[in-house]
Amino acid sequence: MFMERVASGPMSTDLPTLYGRRGVVLRPAEERDVAALAAIRAMPEVRRWWRGGPDLAAEVTADLADADTQVFAVEYEGRVVGQIQWYAEQDPEYRHAGIDVYLDPAVHGRGLGTDAVRTLAHHLIEDHGHHRLVIDPAADNTSAIACYRRVGFRTVGVMRAYERGTDGSWHDGLLMDLLAADLT
């Protein structure tokens, strides 16, 4: 089992704490996590994919306050190493959930991203009844794409000129999805 209920923090909405197989812990992100998450988002290797304005702490705080997004701090060995979040499309004709994630580059290449995404995917499928999940990395973010494929996500297609890069030009995104039966 991937989940255990715990007391919620001041900015959470009674989210569970989830435990991965490789040691990641996904717990409700709280105000105390803002500085660490903003510092991770400011790292060039993360900021390249997770753009933002000059006040990343304000942006992380806004993420935590967004009622439509459920935000978890990703912990590993007792330290905050990233953020993973999800949102849901509730229209019964199109119901699905979407995931976004970033991790500190110091922990890249250890399988922690795969563990975090897989753990959240299990939670969304088993505990929320989603049959389909989506994720949309930049089309040239090969590391993220490989991570998501290890979980079972498949490429749906390229979304042309999907997001504006830090250089001001438009860049392609990759739409990937995972059906419950595809989850590894």
pLDDT in tens, 15-74: 899 999 999 999 999 999 999 999 999 999 999 998 888 899 999 999 999 999 999 999
Among 118, 110, 103, which residue's Cα sits nearest to residue 178? 118
* H helix or E strand, kind and range, residue 178: strand 170-179
What is the per-residue pLDDT for 15? 87
The C-alpha torsion from 26 through 130 and 46 to 111, rounded to 10°, is: 60
Cβ neighbours, 10 Å, residue 60: 24
Task: Give bridge partners of residue 69 from the DSSP assignment.
Answer: 87
Domain limits, the chain: 3-130
What is the per-residue pLDDT for 52? 85
Q: To which residue do tokens 């209920």 refer?
A: 5
Q: Give the orientation angle of helix 112-126 with respect to helix 142-151, to 10 degrees.
A: 50
- Mean predicted lDDT score pLDDT of the chain: 92
Q: Provide CATH code, domain 3-130.
A: 3.40.630.30
Cβ neighbours, 10 Å, residue 40: 26
